[in-house]
Amino acid sequence: MTPAPEVWRFPTLWLGTSAHVYESLTSTNDTATALAADPANAGLAVVARHQTAGRGTYGRIWCDRPESSLLLSLIVTPPAHLRRPVVLTAWAAVAVGDTVRELTGFAPRIKWPNDLLVGGRKVCGILIEQSAAVVVGIGLNLTQSAVEFRDAGLPDATSLEMLAPRVEAHPFGDVLGVVLKHLDLRYGQLLGGHADVVEAAWRAGSQLVGRRVALETTDGQVVPGCVRSLSFDAVELDCGEVVPQVWPPERVRGLRPLEGPA
């Protein structure tokens, strides 16, 4: 049986007003999904200081040392027009990007579809899972060292402490508060009819418009070209033809930047 969590409160409006903080869980997403069966838990944040079976996109495993990462899952019940993976992943990525910028001064790049990179190294991963409610899982690296990442076979990862050693002075709960603050502010923009503001921040953070990329579709097709535009509705790719090729975001598994001129 999982021990009862601590209950922390935060001055947010829409999400994370209440956070259940566990010493250890198999997965915050699994616990949040179980709690989501009760409508009263809408907006609840589930946090673990350590998890033993965390996972990422496409079944990848997430490993952590206790309190070395912020492991957070939010139970979200957005209206139907916002309940799209591209919108919710963009919202979470932009909000966590705001957090990284506030705490370190670095502006991360959003790697399609759900990672945040600083200097080409991964600092955060996001996993959206939908059932009765939407569960938004976030894993943000906090205090890992380059040696830890190397020994774990993750040389292309980084942490807030590596980016800005002063982050070590921020207690775990304070970092959680900053993340929830930005998630709540950006969620309020979505609910307030300002999805275009979140979309613009996501497009800018992706740093892909005007760049040559290899677009990988969900059925495994790989198409090289230059990104003409990027929105919640379409990815437009100039492939050297008169008319650009267009994909709905739901059909795009990856957008890998390529070297060379656009």
Residues 20 and 82 in one domain: yes
Cα within 13 Å of Cα(107), Cβ side: 6
Residue-wise pLDDT for 163-179, tens only, equals 987 765 678 899 999 99
Last residue of a domain, one of 165, 188, 205: 205
* Number of separate domains in the chain: 2
Average pLDDT value for residue range 222-234: 96
CATH number at residue 11: 3.30.930.10
Residue pair 188/153 in contact (Cβ under 8 Å)? The answer is: no
d(CA 191, CA 145): 38
Q: 88: which residues sit within 8 A by CB, 6+ positions away?
A: 76, 78, 82, 128, 134, 136
- Average pLDDT of the chain? 91
Instruction: For residue 219, give the CATH number of its domain.
Output: 2.30.30.100
Point out the least confidently predicted range of 1-5, 53-57, 91-95.
53-57
| 241 within some domain | yes
Q: Is residue 262 part of a domain?
A: no
118 assigned to some structural domain: yes
Domain that holds residue 192: 6-205
